Chain A
Amino acid sequence: MRRSLFVLSLTAAASLSNAQSDQFGSSTPVSTPPPPAGSTAVAGPATAAASKAAETRPDTRSGGAEAQSRAVNVNSMESGTLLQIINKAFDADSDSINPETGTMTWKGHTYDVGQFRVFRGRFERYLSLPPTRDQDLYTATFDEIFKLLSTRTADGSQDSVVAAWKLLYRAAEYDSDGGNSLGVANQIFNAWRIRDEKQAFSVTQTELDRIRRQQSASVVYAGDALAAQAGKGVSDAVSSAALLGGLTTGSSSDSSSSNSNSNNSGGGGGSGSGTVTSGNTTATIGGGGNGNNQSGKGGNNSGGQSKQTIGSGNITGPLGQVLRARELAETEAKIKSLEAAGLLSVTQAKLQFQSQIMSLFLQRRFQHALIASSFYRYIFKGSHQNLEVGKKELSTFLPSTDLAMTVETIEFLSREAINDVNNGMISVRANYDDGRKIGGLERLQETFFLGEYLPAVTQFEPERKEALLTLYRKIDEAKKLADLRDFDAVLALTNEIGSLTKDFRTNEVSAAVRSTQRMSTLALNAAQQATASGDYNRAQEFIEKAAQLWPLNPAIKNYTENLASQADLGTQAAALFDEALKRDDFRRIYDRRAELAAAFLSDTTRGTQLKSVIDRMARVEIYLAQTEELLAQNNAFSAWEALAAAATFAPNDVVLNQRMAQLAPRVAEFVGRLDQAKRYETDQRYAASLTQYLAAQDIHPASQLARTGLTRVSEAIMSQLSVEIPGAVVEK
């Protein structure tokens, strides 16, 4: 009963080991030596080995059927669930580009595209570059790979997988691949190598299992023999010793055996050793099965072959039984070590593969992610499809985080991205053909960020790219000019852009620019008013506002220049004005009245004096104009009188005196009489003055000077006579 339990326990351990060793897909060959990268010559043996392995393992013969069953499975429950997820997750309106943070959001996940300026440079470079050379061959290679790996079109055989794997090396030679296919191929190669190592472990483990069974049987047999010779107590002692050696048997729970073990332990000699290696292994087992006649030799390795000898069979009695139990324990430890190593290698291969798939997906290498996922499906069996790495990153693409993340999830997301890119390019072409190039450019930019490495984007027509590049550069230039607020240049450029595409809102841009220009001009006007009123702080505020709105406003330049010259003129004008006023040189002041007025805006004293001078000279100018008219009528005396009237306002005016000097010969007698009359009047010799006025009036009867002089002097005479004549009425 105990022996049967012990055998059952060993069988269970072996089953566990087989289950762990079968983590690779059962359709894969047992020992397929992976051919070296890029070498097609090695593919022959590899394929042959795969076929041989398939023949030796019954489970591998059903690989094609399993592939078909997986395909059915994909299209049944799992695919329906994922489609529902995709329908919820893939919101077509969720795509967005954030130029400030340099990120692009797709399906709720944010791609870090690096520094946006660099990424924009890549977009410009894409627009300016011609299509990649041999892109059609590259695309054909990928199509062939997809076809070989497709669960629908391919037969799922190892030959197809290997052929697809070889094509990866060919695809890696193209520039547009960026060496990613080589990375995928190497990853596949690594997975296959680990799988072969695991297979070698499995062979060794099978041999060790056989040795263990023999050792176990030997221990049991020797125990029975001892029991027969020494009685049941000895047998129990041996069993207890075996238990102390670490054996796990069905009798380990027997407490009575361990109690009797203490009486028979100790002593013993001899040794047994065993060496187990992979490759061609020969195990020689001596002893066991014959009781006291068992004999064996120690381990002897030669010529690269190992020979194991369990040499405790020649030792009889309890000591030999102890040694045999010890050897059994060592074999058990080796089996466990092999199991652990195999399990670690498989797990490591799976994690590396999943990491690469996830990395490709996050790098937007969606085609490579698809290919790697397909290979993963063929290399690892169905129970290992769940993702162990990248689940957190992948969950950002999905609305719910409690969903099972599998390699198929990446595959579906990659296909959705490719479909989005294809649809985006259709939209780009539709916009372009409709003359809406701005819309086409925007769609292309969004599509480029997602599908930078996809053929739909890289194979965009060069002439369309050139046209969009021209538009892109002009828009970028207009934006920079707008940032610099060079509105005149912006208006010119927007008109040019408007002629290139019909969906550019030229009118809106023009209206916005003109509105800003007008606001700047209004602020400048307010600044000028503030300056005129002497409120320089407020004027400065308005100037700053005007410059902020439109720094290149030409009126600002004129204003500042005038302001600077005005400050300089302020000091110069004051000296000029004072000096001219001192000399009664009103003409000089009058000629520069505008600039002096601007200079004396804040000088109330000089401003008042300037106004008086301007009034005087304005009258003089009127008289001078009147003189011209009178002279034209040949009325020299009236012209003289006009000049004489003007002389009362500006007696030292050069122009006036020149005119009078020019006219004097023609009116000399008249002027003499008036002058004489004036002098007599000044001397209060009114009668004589009256006579001269009458004489002047005789010369020019219409003379205003004579008439007023007569009136004035006659009144003076009457006043004098009123005093002299008694009884006269004195007028007041």
Chain B
Amino acid sequence: MSFPTCPMPLPSIPFATRCLASAALSALLLITSGCGRSGEPFPVHAFLSAPDNLQGNRYELEAEIDAQLNWREGVGRLISVRALRGDARLPLFIGDSMKANLLVAQRYRFEVTVRKGGLLYVEHLQKL
């Protein structure tokens, strides 16, 4: 299961055209707000107390990279991050397909999905 990545910046076009396009996109976002980027902050305490309740959900988590717990080539890396809100450490899995260069203490905004067993699977990340 794959999710659409963030749209790239549009090429330089006349102002009237750009206005029309923005209006059209806004309308589209409003239409597709239930299945696209939620932007909902990750409920840290709820996850710590009952992770099973969050399985299948998608959240946005702003956190600071704490440590890399494990890495397996071709699979991905398992890192621990400290949420900027909540001060709790959470484990995240980042697949190698993300081709991300991560360093400890870097802050990112992660779009995560709560998978079975409570694994936080990073779908998208953006450096803050």
Question: When chains A and B are docked, how far (Å) is the Cα of A688 from the Cα of B119?
Answer: 7
Please tell me if B109 contacts chain A, counting CB pairs below 8 Å. Answer: no
Which of the listed residues B47, B88, B91, B93 has the most CB atoms from chain A within 10 Å of its own CB?
Answer: B91
Q: Given A685, A692, A694, A725, which contacts B76 in the complex, CB threshold below 8 Å?
A: A725
Task: Flag if A722 contacts B51 (CB, 8 Å).
Answer: no
Q: Given A691, A728, A731, which contacts B90 in the complex, CB threshold below 8 Å?
A: A691
Which of the listed residues B93, B95, B120 has the most CB atoms from chain A within 10 Å of its own CB?
Answer: B93
Per-residue CB contact flags for chain B residues 44-61 toward chain A (1 = under 8 Å, else 0) read 000110011000000000
Chain B neighbourhood of A717, CB < 8 A: 70, 78, 93, 119
Chain B neighbourhood of A715, CB < 8 A: 70
Please tell me if A643 contacts chain B, counting CB pairs below 8 Å. Answer: no
Per-residue CB contact flags for chain A residues 421-441 toward chain B (1 = under 8 Å, else 0) read 000000000000000000000
Question: When chains A and B are docked, how far (Å) is the Cα of A714 from the Cα of B69?
Answer: 7
Chain B neighbourhood of A720, CB < 8 A: 117
Task: Flag if B89 contacts A698 (CB, 8 Å).
Answer: yes
Task: Flag if A718 contacts B91 (CB, 8 Å).
Answer: no
Task: Flag if A694 contacts B75 (CB, 8 Å).
Answer: no
Please tell me if A192 contacts chain B, counting CB pairs below 8 Å. Answer: no
Task: Flag if B75 contacts A690 (CB, 8 Å).
Answer: no
Q: Is the interface of A mostly helix, strand, loop or mixed?
A: helix
The smallest beta-carbon distance between A339 and chain B, in angstroms, is 154
Per-residue CB contact flags for chain A residues 665-702 toward chain B (1 = under 8 Å, else 0) read 00000000000000000001111101110110110000
Task: Flag if A718 contacts B72 (CB, 8 Å).
Answer: yes
The smallest beta-carbon distance between A123 and chain B, in angstroms, is 106
Q: Known contacts being A721-B93, A725-B76, is A686 close to B70, with CB within 8 Å?
A: no
Q: Known contacts being A688-B118, A718-B78, is A729 close to B72, with CB within 8 Å?
A: yes
Q: Given A684, A695, A722, which contacts B48 in the complex, CB threshold below 8 Å?
A: A695
Please tell me if A727 contacts chain B, counting CB pairs below 8 Å. Answer: yes
Q: Known contacts being A687-B119, A695-B89, is A722 close to B75, with CB within 8 Å?
A: yes
What residue in chain B is nearest A685 (Cβ atoms)? Answer: B117
What residue in chain B is nearest A719 (Cβ atoms)? Answer: B72
What residue in chain A is nearest B72 (Cβ atoms)? Answer: A718
What residue in chain A is nearest B71 (Cβ atoms)? Answer: A718
The smallest beta-carbon distance between A714 and chain B, in angstroms, is 4
Question: When chains A and B are docked, how far (Å) is the Cα of A728 from the Cα of B93?
Answer: 14
Chain A neighbourhood of B117, CB < 8 A: 684-688, 720
The smallest beta-carbon distance between B98 and chain A, in angstroms, is 12
Question: When chains A and B are docked, how far (Å) is the Cα of A166 from the Cα of B78?
Answer: 144
Q: Known contacts being A688-B117, A691-B118, A694-B80, is A714 close to B89, with CB within 8 Å?
A: no
Please tell me if A523 contacts chain B, counting CB pairs below 8 Å. Answer: no
The smallest beta-carbon distance between B91 and chain A, in angstroms, is 5
Please tell me if A710 contacts chain B, counting CB pairs below 8 Å. Answer: yes
Task: Flag if B69 contacts A691 (CB, 8 Å).
Answer: no
Interfacial residues of chain A within 156-185, with CB under 8 A of chain B in the complex? none
The smallest beta-carbon distance between B101 and chain A, in angstroms, is 20
Question: When chains A and B are docked, how far (Å) is the Cα of A722 from the Cα of B51?
Answer: 22
Chain A neighbourhood of B78, CB < 8 A: 690, 714, 717-718
Chain A neighbourhood of B95, CB < 8 A: 725
Interfacial residues of chain B within 75-104, with CB under 8 A of chain A in the complex? 75-76, 78, 80, 88-91, 93, 95
Task: Flag if B91 contacts A687 (CB, 8 Å).
Answer: yes
Question: How many residues on B have C-beta within 8 angstroms of the other chain's C-beta atoms?
Answer: 25
Q: Known contacts being A687-B117, A688-B118, A695-B48, is A718 close to B70, with CB within 8 Å?
A: yes
The smallest beta-carbon distance between B78 and chain A, in angstroms, is 5
Question: When chains A and B are docked, how far (Å) is the Cα of A727 from the Cα of B70?
Answer: 18
The smallest beta-carbon distance between B103 and chain A, in angstroms, is 19
Task: Flag if B75 contacts A691 (CB, 8 Å).
Answer: no
Chain A neighbourhood of B91, CB < 8 A: 687, 690-691, 694, 714
Chain A neighbourhood of B88, CB < 8 A: 695, 698
Chain A neighbourhood of B74, CB < 8 A: 722, 725, 727-729
Question: When chains A and B are docked, how far (Å) is the Cα of A374 from the Cα of B75?
Answer: 144
Q: Given A686, A691, A728, which contacts B72 in the complex, CB threshold below 8 Å?
A: A728
Q: Known contacts being A691-B51, A717-B119, is A722 close to B90, with CB within 8 Å?
A: no
The smallest beta-carbon distance between A691 and chain B, in angstroms, is 6
Chain A neighbourhood of B119, CB < 8 A: 686-687, 717
Per-residue CB contact flags for chain B residues 22-51 toward chain A (1 = under 8 Å, else 0) read 000000000000000000000000011001
Chain B neighbourhood of A725, CB < 8 A: 74-76, 95
The smallest beta-carbon distance between A705 and chain B, in angstroms, is 16
Task: Flag if B69 contacts A731 (CB, 8 Å).
Answer: no
Question: When chains A and B are docked, how far (Å) is the Cα of A451 from the Cα of B117?
Answer: 122
What residue in chain A is nearest B82 (Cβ atoms)? Answer: A698
Q: Given A687, A710, A728, which contacts B118 in the complex, CB threshold below 8 Å?
A: A687
Chain A neighbourhood of B80, CB < 8 A: 694
Interfacial residues of chain A within 172-228, with CB under 8 A of chain B in the complex? none
Chain B neighbourhood of A685, CB < 8 A: 117-118
Question: When chains A and B are docked, how far (Å) is the Cα of A693 from the Cα of B52?
Answer: 17
Task: Flag if A694 contacts B89 (CB, 8 Å).
Answer: yes
Which of the listed residues A684, A687, A695 has the most CB atoms from chain B within 10 Å of its own CB?
Answer: A687
What residue in chain B is nearest A721 (Cβ atoms)? Answer: B75
Question: When chains A and B are docked, how far (Å) is the Cα of A341 from the Cα of B72?
Answer: 153
Which of the listed residues A695, A698, A717, A722 has the most CB atoms from chain B within 10 Å of its own CB?
Answer: A717
Q: Given A688, A710, A729, which contacts B75 in the complex, CB threshold below 8 Å?
A: A729
Chain B neighbourhood of A695, CB < 8 A: 48, 88-89
Question: When chains A and B are docked, how far (Å) is the Cα of A722 from the Cα of B80?
Answer: 19
The smallest beta-carbon distance between A247 and chain B, in angstroms, is 167
The smallest beta-carbon distance between A82 and chain B, in angstroms, is 129
The smallest beta-carbon distance between A508 and chain B, in angstroms, is 86
Per-residue CB contact flags for chain B residues 101-128 toward chain A (1 = under 8 Å, else 0) read 0000000000000010111100000000
Question: When chains A and B are docked, how far (Å) is the Cα of A692 from the Cα of B89?
Answer: 9
Question: When chains A and B are docked, how far (Å) is the Cα of A684 from the Cα of B69?
Answer: 18
Chain B neighbourhood of A694, CB < 8 A: 80, 89-91
The smallest beta-carbon distance between A725 and chain B, in angstroms, is 5
Q: Given B48, B73, B115, which contacts A691 in the complex, CB threshold below 8 Å?
A: B48
Task: Flag if B70 contacts A691 (CB, 8 Å).
Answer: no
Chain B neighbourhood of A721, CB < 8 A: 72, 75-76, 93
Question: When chains A and B are docked, how far (Å) is the Cα of A642 from the Cα of B71?
Answer: 30
Question: When chains A and B are docked, how far (Å) is the Cα of A721 from the Cα of B90?
Answer: 18
The smallest beta-carbon distance between A26 and chain B, in angstroms, is 151
Chain A neighbourhood of B76, CB < 8 A: 721, 725
Question: When chains A and B are docked, how far (Å) is the Cα of A692 from the Cα of B118?
Answer: 11
Question: When chains A and B are docked, how far (Å) is the Cα of A684 from the Cα of B117?
Answer: 8
Question: When chains A and B are docked, how far (Å) is the Cα of A475 from the Cα of B118?
Answer: 100
The smallest beta-carbon distance between A710 and chain B, in angstroms, is 6
What residue in chain A is nearest B77 (Cβ atoms)? Answer: A718
Chain B neighbourhood of A714, CB < 8 A: 69-70, 78, 91
A-B contact pairs, 29 of them (CB 8 A): A684-B117, A687-B91, A687-B115, A688-B51, A688-B52, A690-B91, A691-B47, A691-B48, A691-B51, A692-B48, A694-B91, A695-B89, A697-B89, A698-B88, A714-B78, A715-B70, A717-B70, A717-B93, A718-B70, A718-B72, A718-B78, A721-B72, A721-B76, A721-B93, A722-B72, A722-B74, A728-B72, A728-B75, A729-B73
A718-B70, A720-B117 are known; give 12 further A-B pairs, CB within 8 A.
A687-B91, A694-B91, A695-B48, A717-B119, A718-B78, A721-B75, A725-B75, A725-B76, A725-B95, A728-B74, A729-B72, A729-B75
7 A-B pairs with the lowest CB-CB distances in the bound complex, closest first: A687-B119, A714-B70, A688-B118, A728-B75, A687-B118, A728-B74, A729-B74
